[in-house]
Amino acid sequence: DKPGILSCDFEVRGKIPKEAFELFALAQAKIVGIRGYITRVSEDCYRGVLQGEGKVIEAFKQLIATAGEYVAAIKEFIIKNLKVIKEYTYEAFEVRA
């Protein structure tokens, strides 16, 4: 029985440098094998969707929230609307403008 795929919305708040952070998020998503997207919605807020096995979502959150170069900038990383899905709706992880 294959592990269930989870999908959730997420929000990262803080004074985060845009380009560097987006590249960083992309790289981390590739490492843990998560799918979805991230988009900047305001000066100090990013939102997006994550899809992957539960432990993968948790691993991604940990990588982002504890990253040495961003740990001071990131105020919070919120996961909401966590639900089980039958199959992925994203091919990969991407940054959306």
Q: What percent of the chain has pLDDT over 70?
A: 98
Region 28-35 average pLDDT = 96
- What pLDDT, on a 0 to 100 scale, did the predictor assign at position 12? 96
In the chain, what's the furthest Cα-to-Cα distance? 43
* Domain containing residue 86: CATH number: 3.30.70.100
Domain that holds residue 78: 5-95
Burial of 94 (0-12, 13-18, 19+ CB in 10 A): middle
pLDDT at 6 over 70: yes
Count how many domains the chain has.
1
pLDDT digits (tens, 9 = 90+) for 46-63: 999 999 998 999 999 999
- Residue 20 CA to residue 8 CA, distance in Å, equals 24
pLDDT at 1 over 80: no
User: Which residue type is seen at 11?
Assistant: E
User: Which residue type is seen at 87?
Assistant: E
Pairing of strands 35-42, 93-96: parallel
